[in-house]
Amino acid sequence: MTAVRPDIAPKPVPEAITTFPTGFVWGAATAAYQVEGAAAEGGRTPSIWDTFSRTPGKVRNGDTGDIAADHYHRYRDDVALMKQLGLKAYRFSISWSRVQPTGRGPAVERGLDFYRKLVDELLEAGITPVATLYHWDLPQELEDAGGWPERATAERFADYTAIMAGALGDRVGTWTTLNEPWCSAFLGYGSGVHAPGRTEPASALRAAHHLNLAHGRAIEVLRGQLPATAQTSVTLNLHQVRPLTPSPEDADAARRIDAVGNRVFTGPMLHGAYPEDLLTDTAHLVDWSKLVQDGDLEAIARPVDVLGINYYTPTLVSTPAEGAGDTRNDGHGASDHSPWPGSEHVAFHLAEGKATTAMNWSIDPNGLYNLLMDVNRDHPGIPLMVTENGAAFDDYVSPEGRVQDPERIAYLHGHLDAVQRAVADGADVRGYFLWSLLDNFEWAYGYSKRFGAVYVDYATQRRIPKASAHWYADVIRRHALPPQGDLA
């Protein structure tokens, strides 16, 4: 995708366009390690996030996902809450080590049974289950064998996909192969701020290729086992990259980050080739001619039915002035190592004059509008789904037992307005999944950041729908945004 032009303001929506398209899907999302808990129950073995979170200094306050939001035990109550809020779909991920503990061999039926029961509960409530096969929790035994930098991991993922398709294919009609493979590759193996915590630029690039290959192998398996009506997808956290200034140097910085942040995945997945500029930028780290084997690109480019897009904040970059120190305010955690192999010198900036979330991410709904329009232009014909969008704020329970979060409501209103504007301007956006249904384990931030529409008191596991949850329920009921002034 092209990312070297300045931000473009959306066109005004005609007054007549007030509702979302017929069939537009309203949902919310979670991830297994962030909400399930029950880390050692039902045959589950450690994933890389269990190991990482137990490593001193890796996760804030030494938090782990051992209990998280206890969704494993409370899923019935959580589904009832989803129904109460009017959700039409629930996007969840499957813990690979819960169903195939070593990443090899037969499945553990107790692990499969949890997901069977969850799906049955969703269907009984009239909520469409949307299954994500991988949301960053690689079985530790596969990491011990080399992890994603090793080609064999992609083949193991295909085997695991076959297990899940066989177990749930008769009840789950929408499947996502990978969630944010950029984070898995470049935060896990580049900057080391995510599990498994390795800081090896060449390994990060190798991991990216093998994640691409795993996606292609999984699509082949799903197409071979699922009914023809099933939908397949992948979810990417595409960076809405902007140059800090119109200078050629900053434009090149944006090109570089677009290549290693976006086109490293969209190139092979959607066009059957890695971009030449990416190969040039990283040639000193990886011999791509040996890494990419015969048949790989054809496998990776198997068509998907939907492209999932996760968006939180734009990415503003520049080339540092001579003699200036590099700054990496990229929103992806503090590390002495860069998650941008081949472009480590690029500087990242917060947008001036923009409010920020508790993650110190700039709030900019126009970034979502521009991203959707860019993808619609660069990859025409592929339906889009906003599979994650939301914000963390410093939520608390009032003496009256309520959680008022007007900042989140304003954030959601602005971003849903951006989606509506993109649809009005021709983007084929089919749905929106709020991140997240529940407050949860926020990776290296532990429990210090709250993204949920539902507040979780971790000491008691009590759920309290925030004001934003009630607001979102009203949006779903209306199938439209309330008036701009009605944000309470």
| Rounded distance between C-alpha atoms, residue 29 and residue 39, angstroms | 20
Instruction: Compute and round to an integer the Cα radius of gyration of the chain.
Output: 21
Annotated active-site residue 180? The verdict is yes
Using left for φ > 0, alpha for ψ between -120 and 50, and beta otherwise, residue 148 falls in alpha
Spot the catalytic one: 36, 121, 388, 407: 388
Tokens of 39: 């880390």
Residues 162 and 205: beta-carbon distance below 8 Å: no
| Rounded distance between C-alpha atoms, residue 471 and residue 420, angstroms | 17
Tokens of 195: 């599990």
Residue type for position 43: G
Residue 354 DSSP class: -
Q: Residue 377's closest CA among 387, 369, 366, 388? A: 369
* 25 backbone dihedrals φ, ψ, rounded to 5°: -90, 130
Tokens of 161: 């996909």
Tokens of 342: 């081949």
Tokens of 283: 């040639």
What's CA 385's distance to the chain center, in Å?
Answer: 12
| Rounded distance between C-alpha atoms, residue 230 and residue 170, angstroms | 10
Q: Is 224 exposed, middle or buried (0-12, 13-18, 19+ CB in 10 A)?
A: exposed
| Rounded distance between C-alpha atoms, residue 228 and residue 184, angstroms | 30
Strand partners, 233: 176, 306
Spot the catalytic one: 180, 249, 298, 352: 180
Using left for φ > 0, alpha for ψ between -120 and 50, and beta otherwise, residue 131 falls in beta
Annotated active-site residue 388? The verdict is yes
| Rounded distance between C-alpha atoms, residue 253 and residue 256, angstroms | 5
Residue type for position 330: D
Active site residues: 180, 388
